[in-house]
Amino acid sequence: MRYKVKVAGKEYDVEIKEERGNVFIVEVAGKVLEVEVPSEVGVSEVKPEEVKKRPTVVAGKVVTAPSPGKVIEIKVRPGDVVKETDVVAVLESMKMSIEVYAGYSGRVKEILVKPGDFVDLGQPILTLE
């Protein structure tokens, strides 16, 4: 799994290579590192078949959560025009900030979550038209 992670204002591409309990083997900036996550954080793997099916939005394009986590910030409002590379929201997962990119160009139609909400992997965050 690949993630974009922001630490102290700097963004990194992180790939999780292997998981052994609370120890993760990750690749960051070409370096392979072993990262131990304290057990009280409660890290667990979510298998695709365990993800609850959510209602699909019929009209427009849907921007979904790339990871389970807490919504920290919504960076757009209904009516805003975005490009596919624009950051539209920020989530926090395992004490890391995860930027959510629009993925599509369009106009923000509806925001489906608010700061403080917890979202599941693949949960709709907003729609574009």
Domains and CATH numbers, the chain: 2-39 (no CATH), 58-128 (2.40.50.100)
What number of other Cβ atoms are within 10 A of residue 121's Cβ?
16
What number of other Cβ atoms are within 10 A of residue 106's Cβ?
18
The secondary structure element, H or E, covering residue 74 is strand 69-74
From residue 18, how far is each of 87, 102, 109, 123, 128 by CA, in Å? 28, 28, 39, 25, 35
- Rounded CA-CA distance 113/124 in Å is 8
Q: Do residues 3 and 12 lie in contact, with contact meaning Cβ atoms separated by under 8 Å?
A: no
Count Cα neighbours of 106 within 13 Å in the Cβ-side half-sphere. 17
The torsion angle over the Cα atoms of residues 47, 48, 52 and 54, rounded to 10 degrees, is 150
pLDDT score recorded for residue 48: 54
pLDDT score recorded for residue 39: 57
What number of other Cβ atoms are within 10 A of residue 104's Cβ?
16
pLDDT score recorded for residue 73: 95
Identity (one letter) of the amino acid at 75?
K
The torsion angle over the Cα atoms of residues 67, 68, 69 and 71, rounded to 10 degrees, is 70
Per-residue pLDDT of the chain (129 residues; tens, 9 = 90+): 777 776 666 777 788 888 877 777 888 877 888 877 665 554 455 555 544 444 443 345 888 888 889 999 999 999 999 998 899 999 998 888 899 998 888 999 999 999 999 988 888 899 888
